[in-house]
Structures are given as C-alpha cells and as structure tokens.
C-alpha cells in the first residue's frame, strides 16, 4: 500500500471531517449532556410503549422543556431530560403523576440524576489540563526514546483523533457527558499506543535501510505493521461492539464514540502520524540542500 | 522432553481453568473458601442501585479554616448516615468544598437527603428571641412516650453541665414571669423553624427538656438522631444527585457480563483462526490477564462502576495487542526463512522494544491522569495502568513460556500452525 504518495488525500480527508464536524457543532451546538449544563434526567419504566406526545402532555403542566426518548428492549421505558435543575421534591412530584396514571411501583423510577450547573465546567477543566500534561509527558518520553519529531507527530496525531471524535459527536449529536471524558481518554491511550508501534518500526528500519529515502522507509514500515494494526483494532472493536449491542443505554452512549475512536486511532496511526513525520523530515532535507547550495 | 513439556502444558491449562472456574463460581476446599469474583468486587452505586448526593458547603472560608469546617461536616454527616443503618455507606470529601455521600440500597432520595443534609441547628430561644443554648450543649436525645399526652412520641433531651446551668437560669427567669404571659415561653427552634413553644412553669435544674410536637414515631426518631448527630457547622446545598434503581443496576451488570463473555469468546475464535497455535496461547494468556486484573482490583478494594466495566471489556480487546505484535514478528521471521525456534526467539526479542515503548507511553498518560484527574478520571487511570501492566506481564512472561513449551513438545512444529 502506498501511504506517503497519497498523503495529501489522507490529510484533506481528516481535515474535511474535522471542519464539517466543527462547523456543524458551531451551527447547531454540541449536544451537551446535563452533567455539563446542569439539569435533570429521569428514567421511568412505564410497562408499555407510550407516545412522546402523551408524555409531553403529562409533563407540560410542570412547564418543562424536556427531551424525551424511548429506551429499553421493548421501548417501554422513557428518559426525560431537562435543562432545568429540578430538586428531589419536584422530581418526586413528577414521578407521582406517572405512578398514578400508569399504575407504577416505586421501583419503576429506574434512575434519576440532577446536576448543578457548575460541576461540568470543573470536570472539563481538569480533564483538559490532565490531557495536556499527559501529552507533554509522552512528548518527553518519545523524544528521549525516539526523537523530537516523532514526539510532535504523535501528539499532532493524538489531537487529530480527539478532533475527529469530537466532530463525530457533533455530527451524530451524541450527548457530551462525563463518559465523554472517559471515552476521550481511552482514545488517547489507544491512539498513542497504535502510533508508537508504527514509529518503532520506522526507527528500526532506518538502521537497515540507510540509503533509501524516508518515503520508502515509511511505506515499508507501515506495510509491515499493517496486519498488526488491523488485527488489534479488530479484537478491540469486537469487544466494544458486543458492549454496544448488549449494553444498557448509558453504555451505548459510551461505546459509540469508542468505536469511532478505535477506528480513528487505527486510521491515524497509518495515514496521519507517519506522513506528518515524513513531510517534516523531507522538508528538513530540502531546506538543508538549499542552505548548502 | 516431549512428555515432560506436555505434562507442564496440561498442568498450566488445568490451573488456568481452575482459576477461571473458581472466579466464576467460587471455590471451596475444607475451610478454605474463595467467593466468586462477582461477589468480591465492590460494585459502584450505578451497578447495585442506590442514591448518591454531592453537597456543597456555602462558605467563604479558605485554607485550614475551610479544612476544619469540612472535616467537621463530614464527621456529622457520617454519624447521621451511620444512624440510618445501611450496609456500606460512603462519605467522602470531593474537591475543596464538596462532600459526596453514597447510600447503597436507598430508594427514596428525598428522605435520604433530608436526613443527611439538614443543618440541624437546634436552638432554645427566650421570648426576646435571644438564644439561650444550642444543640452543641445537648448530651443525648431520645424518643420518649409521655403518658399524660396520650403516648404521643416526644424527644427528650439531656444537656451537658454547661447547658444544664444555662437552661436552669433561663427557666428560673421565665417561671418568674406572670402566668399566661408570652414571656414564659422558651421556644425550641430547629433550622430557624419553631417546632415547639412550651411555657415554663417551674425552674428546671436537672438539665432535661422535652420537645413536644405532633410527631409520628418516625419523625421523632429522626429528630432525635439529628440532634444526637450534632449540627452541621455550615449550610449545604445539593449540587448533584443520582438515584439508580436496583433493577437497573443489576440489569447493567448482567448485560455487561454477557457482553464481556461474548466479546471474549469472539476474540478467542478470531485469534484461534488467525494465529492457530499462538492464538491458543494468546487465549490462555488472555484468561490469565483477566484474572490478574480482577484480582488486583479486588486487592486494591477498587469500586467497579459502569464505565469501569466498559473500560475493562475494552481492555480485553486491547490486551491481545502485545501478543499480536509478537506473533506477527514471528511470522515475518518464518517468512524470511528462519527455523521455527530461531523465529520465535528473534521475533520475540524484536517485539519486546515495541511493546515496551508503546505501553510506557500509555502508562505515562495513566500516571498523569491519576495525579491530576479527579473522581471518575482517577478510577479510569487506575484501571488503565493495571491493564497495561498486566497485559505486558502476560504477553512477555506467559506467552513466552507457553510458546517454548509448545516448541519443545515437538508436535506442533509445522510453521503453518503458526499462521505463517
């Protein structure tokens, strides 16, 4: 497979996805979960399928602007999400109405959550800070074990993955909540691991193929590690997909970005990380030549 | 050599199988008992159901003063929570000003929050609204049934010596006022709300008082528990609550276990078909990996939450990576015309630096996230680090040992069996 030859194609593809995602995110806004905006979520088992309109009717007397969705295997359950920060008393009142109308038991309130508005910003800030410091730590390690250019390329690839997954969140309107951070962190771990394996091969091949140019070395290295990249992402995808298909609602929200992240991480380790490094190396060679002449 | 290696291999398989079965069903020989892993792992509220509340202190205090207030608050809340008689409640500080209270098994969030988060500022006030004494001076509070009031539950209080003295002076003064005048009243105020306002007839020297009201038994016991538990030094507001019904919790756990089982089985099948003999070895290594991770989690007393379970199931897919790197290298060496033995040796040593470098970078991320992250991020970091360390160990030690045993058996020496 010729990777380097078509690097402009790979770069444009990634940039396109990121730009489309971010523009969509800016136009329609990201679907921020209640953990970030503050608000309330209630999940109620109604024992039968009830239309969204009927539920909207019931809660309209509480003056709620709510998102309503059906969940569960037979869609007997509903999730009501409001941006309004309802306290426990108010939630109990709402549930009481449902309880009477549909003859429910206490256990049918499957879950309820409430977040004050300030919590999300804090989590966000800490997560961003820790990702930044982690990136710096990895940059130092890679510089020490490989070279600075590998380190920078790996970090750019990491940012690429984060932005692509963010774009996917925007495009598919996946709610950004606290599991979003866990998903992002998993992707960071996966992506860097995957990238290093390819870089490791390049480092090894440079020793043996001194006379060849960087493009050839990278192409050979990517091809040598290709089976491994695909197989590992396959086994990883197998387990997350099982989780996505069999999991409960909150796990599905978590598994979907992970599936996207795994695919992105594999893609970027092949098509983004090494081409960045090669471009830099080649640019340096050209620059050196001009300087010399 | 052949037979000895076959025996060792069978022994290893038997041990791993026993470990796996013991993990699933528990294990018992005589007095030696191991419970199933599922029961030994501490489950988070999202997996077993319950209520958690995060309360934030309304205070401008900082530094040591804040620290003192928060620790006092935590103590008071702990006392109140313990009075609820739950199985494994958990009260912890979160960040600077917050306290997180986890109440497994509780269904009604409101009752729990009321019981835990009430400021419980108990005050005795005279007719001028002056505070005579406060809840700190109460030594004990309990429910009593007063016969002359038709056995309606009341709360009887016993003051400490300082409180008793103050109460004696105040009652003496009140009793000296004209009969029927409002000046005789000493009001009992809880959180700025008058709960009873009895008129004093005589001086009370023994340091005892009774709060009368139209309490149900439950209300009276709750009030007594609140007063006993002491007042919170600061006002708290609820910033986050979560109620997970017990059925949803079990549902999540069972579905996750099912997903894990199917995921693992599919990974086994994939590895067996693609890598044959090494695939079989990787499957054994994977079982060992899972057992190691679970036991370390149990050892650390880690609390398993839903994202944690998801992370672990994901890590099972990723854990074969080190094996895949090794096997691909061995295949390459075989293709380059080396003998099987030489291929395994050189493939292994070449794979080692790759595994090391790729995992150390992930470990760095784990360490940083643990240091700077909070709450769920910290938990995630721990699982990540354990996973990486365990997968390196199993890939380097277990896979290598098993590969050598297979080669020494001289039965599986066709390179085709190695996926080449």
What's the CA gap between B396 and B390, in Å, rounded? 10
What kind and span of H or E run contains B53? strand B50-57
Please identify which residue in the block is written with the tokens 């860097």.
A192
pLDDT digits (tens, 9 = 90+) for A50-75: 888 888 888 887 767 788 888 887 88
Average pLDDT over residues B385-411: 88
Contact A235 B270 (CB under 8 A): yes
B 86-145: CB under 8 A from A: 95, 107-110, 113
B 72-91: CB under 8 A from A: none
pLDDT tops 60 at residue A293: no
What's the CA gap between B45 and B106, in Å, rounded? 10
What pLDDT band is residue A292 in, cutting at 50, 70 and 90? low
Phi first, then psi: what are they for B196, rounded to 5°?
A: -155, 150
- Quote the pLDDT of residue B131: 83
pLDDT tops 70 at residue B283: yes
Cross-chain CB nearest to A189 (options B238, B264, B362)? B362
Please identify which residue in the block is written with the tokens 């951070």.
A181
pLDDT tops 90 at residue B73: no
The percentage of chain B sitting over the pLDDT mark of 90, rounded to a whole number, equals 18
What pLDDT band is residue B322 in, cutting at 50, 70 and 90? very high
Smallest CA-to-CA distance from A270 within A239, A213, A232 is with: A232
pLDDT tops 80 at residue A98: yes
- Quote the pLDDT of residue B119: 65
**Maximum mean pLDDT: which of A53-57, B104-108, B169-173, B257-261:** B257-261
Cβ atoms A198, A225 nearer than 8 A:
yes
Residue A289: how many other CB atoms lie within 10 Å: 9
- Quote the pLDDT of residue A144: 93
Cross-chain CB nearest to A137 (options B46, B350, B364)? B364
Phi first, then psi: what are they for A203, rounded to 5°?
A: -55, -45
What's the CA gap between B97 and B70, in Å, rounded? 7
Smallest CA-to-CA distance from B319 within A226, A236, A183, A263 is with: A236
Neighbouring C-alpha atoms within 13 Å toward the C-beta of A157: 35
pLDDT tops 90 at residue B185: no
Average pLDDT over residues B394-411: 87
pLDDT tops 90 at residue B123: no
What's the CA gap between A78 and A71, in Å, rounded? 6
pLDDT tops 70 at residue A94: yes
What's the CA gap between B319 and B412, in Å, rounded? 25
Quote the pTM value: 0.80
pLDDT digits (tens, 9 = 90+) for B347-380: 999 999 999 999 998 888 888 888 877 666 777 7
A215-219, B12-16, B407-411: which has the minimum mean pLDDT?
A: B407-411
The percentage of chain B sitting over the pLDDT mark of 70, rounded to a whole number, equals 97
Q: Which two tokens stand for residue B92?
A: 């912890």
- Quote the pLDDT of residue A291: 63
CA torsion B395→B400→B401→B402, rounded to 10°? 80
Q: Which two tokens stand for residue B87?
A: 């199985």
Residue B346: how many other CB atoms lie within 10 Å: 16
Cross-chain CB nearest to B317 (options A108, A194, A235)? A235
B 298-327: CB under 8 A from A: 306-307, 310-311, 313-314, 316-318, 320-321, 324-325
A174-183, B42-51, B111-120: which has the minimum mean pLDDT?
A: B111-120
B 362-401: CB under 8 A from A: 362, 364-369, 371-377, 380-381, 384
Indicate if the alpha-carbon torsion angle B361, B365, B366, B368 is positive or negative: positive
User: Is pLDDT larger for residue A213 or for residue A238?
Assistant: A238
- Quote the pLDDT of residue B378: 77
CB pairs under 8 A between A and B: 229
Q: What is the DSSP letter of B177?
A: S
- Quote the pLDDT of residue B306: 82
pLDDT digits (tens, 9 = 90+) for B186-195: 888 877 778 7
Cβ neighbours of residue B235 under 8 Å, at least 6 residues apart? B57, B58, B59, B119
Find residue A66's DSSP bridge partners.
A82
The percentage of chain A sitting over the pLDDT mark of 90, rounded to a whole number, equals 38
Contact B325 A197 (CB under 8 A): yes
What's the CA gap between A291 and B111, in Å, rounded? 77
Q: What is the DSSP letter of B396?
A: I
pLDDT digits (tens, 9 = 90+) for A10-64: 999 999 999 999 899 888 888 887 777 888 888 888 888 888 888 888 888 776 7
- Quote the pLDDT of residue A87: 74
Average pLDDT over residues A274-291: 86
Contact A246 B264 (CB under 8 A): no
What's the CA gap between B248 and A63, in Å, rounded? 28
What pLDDT band is residue B69 in, cutting at 50, 70 and 90? confident
Residue B39: how many other CB atoms lie within 10 Å: 8
Chain mean position to CA B134: 36
pLDDT digits (tens, 9 = 90+) for B186-245: 888 877 778 778 888 888 888 888 877 778 887 788 778 777 777 777 888 888 888 888
- Residue-averaged pLDDT of chain B: 84
């Amino acid at each position: 497979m010729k990777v380097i030859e078509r690097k402009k194609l790979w770069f444009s593809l990634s940039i396109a996805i990121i730009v489309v995602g971010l523009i969509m995110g800016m136009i329609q806004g990201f679907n921020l979960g209640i953990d970030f905006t503050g608000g309330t979520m209630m999940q109620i088992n109604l024992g039968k399928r009830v239309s969204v309109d009927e539920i909207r009717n019931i809660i309209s007397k509480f003056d709620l602007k709510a998102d309503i969705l059906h969940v569960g295997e037979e869609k007997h359950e509903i999730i009501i999400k409001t941006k309004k920060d309802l306290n426990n008393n108010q939630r109990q009142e709402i549930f009481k109405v449902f309880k009477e109308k549909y003859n429910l038991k206490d256990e049918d309130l499957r879950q309820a959550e409430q977040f004050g508005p300030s919590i999300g910003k804090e989590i966000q800030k800490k997560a961003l800070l820790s990702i930044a410091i982690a990136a710096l730590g990895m940059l130092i390690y890679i510089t020490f074990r490989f070279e600075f250019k590998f380190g920078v390329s790996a970090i750019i690839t990491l940012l690429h993955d984060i932005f692509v997954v963010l774009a996917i969140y925007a495009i598919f309107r996946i709610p950004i909540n606290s599991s979003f951070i866990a998903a992002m962190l998993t992707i960071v771990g996966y992506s860097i691991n995957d990238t290093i394996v390819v870089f490791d091969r390049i480092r090894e091949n440079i020793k043996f193929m001194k006379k060849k140019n960087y493009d050839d070395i990278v192409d050979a290295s990517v091809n040598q590690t290709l089976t491994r990249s695909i197989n590992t992402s396959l086994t990883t995808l197998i387990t997350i997909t099982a989780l996505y298909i069999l999991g409960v609602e909150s796990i599905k929200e978590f598994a979907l970005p992970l599936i996207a992240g795994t695919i992105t991480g594999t893609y970027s380790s092949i098509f983004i990380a090494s081409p960045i490094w090669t471009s830099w190396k080649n640019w340096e060679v050209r620059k050196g030549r001009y300087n010399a002449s | 050599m052949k037979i000895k290696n076959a025996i060792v291999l069978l022994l290893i398989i038997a041990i791993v199988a026993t470990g796996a079965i013991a993990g699933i069903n528990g294990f018992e020989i005589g007095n030696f008992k191991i419970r199933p892993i599922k029961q030994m792992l501490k489950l988070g509220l999202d997996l077993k159901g319950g209520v958690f509340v995060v309360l934030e202190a309304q205070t401008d205090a900082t530094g040591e003063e804040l620290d003192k207030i928060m620790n006092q608050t935590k103590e008071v809340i702990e006392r109140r929570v313990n009075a609820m008689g739950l199985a494994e409640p958990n009260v912890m500080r979160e960040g600077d000003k917050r306290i997180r209270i986890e109440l497994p098994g509780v269904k009604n969030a409101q009752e729990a929050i009321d019981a835990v988060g009430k400021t419980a500022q108990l005050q005795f006030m005279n007719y001028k609204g002056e505070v005579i004494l406060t809840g700190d001076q109460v030594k004990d509070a309990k429910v009593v049934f007063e016969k002359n009031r038709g056995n309606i539950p009341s709360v009887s209080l016993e003051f400490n010596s300082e409180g008793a003295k103050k109460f004696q002076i105040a009652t003496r003064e009140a009793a000296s006022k004209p009969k029927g005048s409002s000046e005789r009243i000493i009001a009992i105020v809880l959180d700025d709300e008058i709960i009873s306002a009895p008129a004093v007839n005589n001086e009370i020297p023994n340091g005892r008082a009774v709060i009368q009201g139209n309490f149900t038994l439950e209300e009276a016991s709750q009030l007594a528990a609140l007063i006993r538990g002491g007042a919170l030094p600061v006002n708290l507001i609820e910033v986050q609550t979560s109620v997970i019904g017990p059925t949803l919790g079990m549902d999540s756990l069972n579905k996750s276990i099912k997903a894990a089982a199917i995921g693992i089985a599919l990974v086994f099948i994939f590895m067996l078909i693609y890598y044959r003999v090494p695939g079989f070895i990787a499957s054994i290594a994977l079982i060992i990996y899972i057992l190691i991770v679970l036991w370390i989690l149990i050892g650390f007393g880690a609390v398993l939450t839903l994202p944690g379970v998801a992370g672990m199931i994901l890590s099972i897919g990723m854990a074969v990576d080190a094996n895949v790197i090794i096997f691909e290298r061995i295949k390459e060496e075989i293709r380059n015309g080396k003998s099987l033995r030489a291929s395994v040796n050189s493939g292994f040593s070449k794979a080692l630096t790759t595994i090391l470098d790729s995992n150390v970078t992930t470990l760095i991320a784990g360490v940083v996230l643990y240091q700077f992250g909070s709450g769920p991020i910290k938990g995630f970091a721990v699982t990540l680090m354990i996973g990486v360390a365990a997968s390196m160990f199993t890939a380097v030690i277990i896979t290598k040992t098993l590969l050598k045993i297979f080669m020494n058996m001289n039965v599986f020496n066709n390179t085709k069996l190695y996926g080449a």
